Structure 1
Amino acid sequence: MLSPELVRAGERTTSVFSDFEAGRKWQSILHAKGWGAPEWPIEHGGTGWDIQQHYIFLEECKLANAPNPVMMGIQMLGPMLIHFGTEAQKQQFLPGIISGDDVWCQGYSEPGSGSDLASLKTTAEQDGDEYVVNGTKIWTSMAHHSNWIFCLVRTGKEVKPQAGISFLLIDMATPGITVAPFTSLDGEVEQCQVFFENVRVPVANLLGEENQGWTVAKYLLEFERGGQHFTIELKKQLSKLHRLMASETNRAKEDPTYAYRVAETEIDVMALEQTELRIKGSLSAGDNPGALSSLVKVSGTELGQRCAELLIEAAGQSAIPWQSEVLSPEYTGETAAPAECVTTMAEYINSRATTIYGGTAEIQRGIIAKHVLGL
């Protein structure tokens, strides 16, 4: 199932996104096997696996260096459609999501409205059986590859900010949409800014009730924060770290302080894994993980940063050579750095953003303080 090129794409993944074409091809393969959306209900194409079966599947995919499918539709929008969507919306959108034929991006953040998402200014004014959308979204992952976007828009102005927001599903081919990609520090293009100028969207593409989009958005963010599987990737990173430390020329293992930091990180990853499995159990039972998803998001992203820092230190000067072309799964030439280190610097750079997107670590700690600790 996994071709050498797909394996290279998995090995050279430096963020939550693998090479786009490789991820899409892998999603197509999974869909053909009936594994396109394992956590969805069986009636919508899910597998019916229990928590352990699904966790083992994901872990085996990671160990086999499978690329990450583009998951905005599968992991985030799909559950929202199943929970809030009309039957017509489910029939229209779910098949394209699970097959990978439709690629979705998320239109939440705006310039000046990131952590304070309720202050968003993109408007949608109803005109007959359509909304007319004007505004802009930023940090929109994979928008340059997407043919659909799910968006938070302001439909009510005379109410408190959260009460005037709606959730729209927008075809990216609609006239008036412009996408401007950004090049990241690692040389890759993942983020974009999307502009809407008099974009007409059918009212039928409203998910949930008008002015109730904040409810949908919060539910979605809990899937984004708690629906990830941080520990599977963290354990892979720790295995890579031990391989580097086992090298005869590596001196990191001789430093007792460094060894202590590695052991401490491994213990914390084990603890996080148990919390993640508790949340998966809650989700599979139909419960809302609530503030626990914020706890996992903070712990998972900060542990990811710690692993990235440990890898940089273990790699030493081997992390310095920069060959952006090596990150492409098509590249089969020589590398300036050892194979274990070609992605180390890019992974470190990308890890810095993880405590920002999906809700900053500061915002998550505020949620934990209020809803878990009762402060």
Structure 2
Amino acid sequence: MRVGFPESEIISRMRTLSSMRTIVEAATSRPGREDVLAPSRTRVEHTPRLDGSPQMRAIRTVIENIADTDATVLIRGESGVGKDLVARALHAASARRAGPFVKVNCAAIPGELLESELFGHEKGAFTGAHRRKPGQFEYANSGTVYLDEIAELPLALQAKLLHVLQDFRFTRVGGNGAIEVDARVIAATNRDLEQAMARGEFREDLYYRLNVVEIHVPPLRERREEIPLLVATFLARFNAQYGRHKELAPETLARLMEHPWSGNVRELENAIRRMVVLTEGEQAFAASLARPRNGQAPAAAAPTPAVTEGLREIARRAARAAERQALVEVLDRVHWNRAEASRILKVSYKTLLNKIAECGLTPPSHR
């Protein structure tokens, strides 16, 4: 039997759990604070992909805490983990949401052109500059400029960026007049900036200027409970995009859950796209798992047991696991004061006791 992906049910379950997890993250990160969901805090509601795992909900909580500020943010994580998603969520939750969101990929622009791209140039500033051109910082005025792959910025340009971050004033290439902009800066990298600083490839003063708030996005292999939701999301998107009605077999879902995903969410997205557009896409994916990578044979793995459950049951298991973890964290935080835990989690005392029993939790003194 082949099983379709009930995306609406999964998203609904994940959103239900996210509210409890957000409260837990806020409570456990601020000892003694009572107003864990104060009205002044901006809620991030626009993307369910920030609800799929405890790690992403913790990131969502950070976004909610800093959305109403102009603090510079450094987003770190492997390639393909979703750093762009976090940057766009931060912009959408901020007071600058009506302004532009301007992304600059520092690795995709030649170094000799990057200064002009960021800060603009005047007519005649260099060969081929036939007219004045504003830079991306000017286009981002009243909004957010997102500097992706910031570690690829040349050292000379790092110095200029540092000065811009100090007072948000700069001059175009070939110009004299100072230009002022009002923009929030978000930077991202998949490189180890500490090692880059040790090698003299990245300025220490710029690092500290950018790293006011650091958000680390973990790899997909560390948040596998998100895979069913991501698969359902991508499957629905590509079915609509290509006019298909693709459904995936339980065996394919099991393989997707077990795959290491070195390319993270981007690799998963491309895998689902191939399964939708190719008639034998699932078989091709299964065959690719047996092929060597980088000249080395794949590591031997235990035989995969036959899978009879579909995405719905897997989503339920993921939801139960996330709920149990949330209960454990808040109960440990309040030293098993059940009345206090029920207040923090915003559930009745009876409901809390039922949940504790369902999850098989016991106080430390009874273990």
Whether the TM-score (by the shorter chain) exceeds 0.5 is no
Q: Which has the larger radius of gyration?
A: 2
Calculate the TM-score normalised by the size of structure 2: 0.30
Q: Which has the higher strand share?
A: 1
